Chains A and B, each alone.
Chain A
């Protein structure tokens, strides 16, 4: 037994108390297998087809935007922008923020780990019921995938109506022999339909899961996987009540809450209740800016957000203090949640011949 170990045992015996948070406020590691619906098992043909579709701007009305435009591996499968720039935008990252294009009024959510949406301290949601979007307006990755395609600002533009675009896309894909062959390989006789399009994208997204992070490895019993600072950060995070909402394997309760987040210039497109999901804090160091409208630009800003927060109305939540003096430790804990590796492949070509990821 090392001296440190001995001393910590001695200290523990002297008092014998560790913090025992209620079960609803605990954290745990991610399962290693990713759930998939029975009618869309994660098969390699579907995954690779989904990857091509995810990167192919052919899915947008004007052939200029792909899923990857706003969910890019360089930004942890977000776009690095406060609010996304859809139809008519150019480039990725800050160049896109400065240029033209439709502003989507919401911050892009990471697709990394979205396959586990709905997994809380109470167990996993069925993949068919996995909540999607900041306001949970859709369930399942399959259903979600058709959302941006039909959305005028994100991908559709105004060349097609919402009830026309899926037929248009099926027609476009059916005209490209490589796609026809790959849909057949993945889905057999079903071929190219809006349903198989969504299934292929969802199958690919189920592979966008980071490898176990330092936090996961520590939870699994590897004592050396987290530093003392990371452990202090985690302790402070739980002790100060952050885990009342950021709990479970995803560090989210997958419930909607109304926090006093500063309004951005553009009004939110949602139902106006101002309620948003507790976002997962996995891969958090890669997914700035933060909050549903991107109004918090840095990780330190998220700590200061809670520090400066004034809950002025009984309808508002989030009145917790970050651990005083724990800034560095909390940042270290964020690192322990974000150091998993993940698929960063940027395809060199997509079957349509258009530039992968859009213009």
Chain B
């Protein structure tokens, strides 16, 4: 049986690198960590982010699991790396105001991501992290367009600051 987990709440930013998004948006999340060994943790992460760009709003939420390796867990500034997989669901609205009317459409979907992140834990309490969530199974594939424009199947970067409760 696993003991009760360490809970870290996080806040930061998400940097989209897919579709036409260009601007970073806010991110809030929580990580649960269970010690498997002195240097290894099983982690579960959940986070929500929002992206805005030129009349598009996208709200996304991720649930994922992974493992975190901490080579020097006792150091006051202790680096770690983490690998995981997850799924990110989204709701997206696009809108554009035209003389005759506002045109808008809403879309829902989910992608499967593989993530890698690294960071440091400071005095066993605070955490700074950077991560990349790579989209491995996108929500949609081109079915009509067959040209050479890059596929939208990239991912998004994350940066956050966390506090262990």
Interface residues of A (CB under 8 A from B): 4, 7-8, 11-12, 14-15, 17-21, 23, 26-29, 218-221, 226-229, 231-232, 234-236, 238-240, 298, 300-301, 303-304, 307-308, 322-328, 330-332
Contact = CB atoms under 8 A, between A and B. Distances in A.
B147 A327 contact: yes
A301 B107 contact: no
B91 A11 contact: yes
B20 A18 contact: no
A239 B39 CA distance: 48
- Residue of B18, B96, B106 with highest tally of chain A CB at under 10 A: B96
B105 A325 contact: no
Nearest to A223: B101
Interface string B84-103: 00000001011111111111
A20 B147 contact: no
Contacts of A226: 103
Contact of A300 (B53, B98, B146): B146
B165 interface: no
Interface residues of B, number: 38
B144 A322 contact: no
Interface of B: 18-20, 52-57, 59, 91, 93-107, 140, 142-152
A95 to B, nearest CB: 26
Contacts of B91: 7, 11
B20 A231 contact: no
DSSP class of A's interface residues: helix, strand, loop or mixed?
A: helix
Contacts of B19: 323-326
Nearest to B148: A304
A239 B100 contact: no
A46 B105 CA distance: 45
Nearest to A331: B144
A239 B55 contact: yes
State the main secondary structure of chain B at its contact with A. Answer: loop
Given A18-B104, A27-B98, A232-B105, A8 B55 contact: no
A11 B93 contact: yes
> Counting chain B CB atoms within 10 Å of each CB, which of A23, A232, A238, A326 scores highest?
A232
Interface centre among B52, B98, B148, B152 (most CB of A within 10 A): B98
Contacts of A20: 55, 96-97
Contacts of B103: 218, 226, 231, 234-235
B106 A8 contact: yes
A325 B98 contact: no
Given A235-B94, A304-B149, A17 B105 contact: no
A18 B145 contact: no
25 contacts: A8-B105, A11-B57, A12-B93, A17-B52, A17-B55, A18-B95, A18-B102, A18-B104, A19-B94, A19-B97, A21-B96, A219-B98, A221-B101, A226-B103, A232-B107, A235-B105, A298-B147, A304-B147, A304-B148, A323-B20, A325-B18, A325-B19, A325-B150, A326-B19, A327-B144
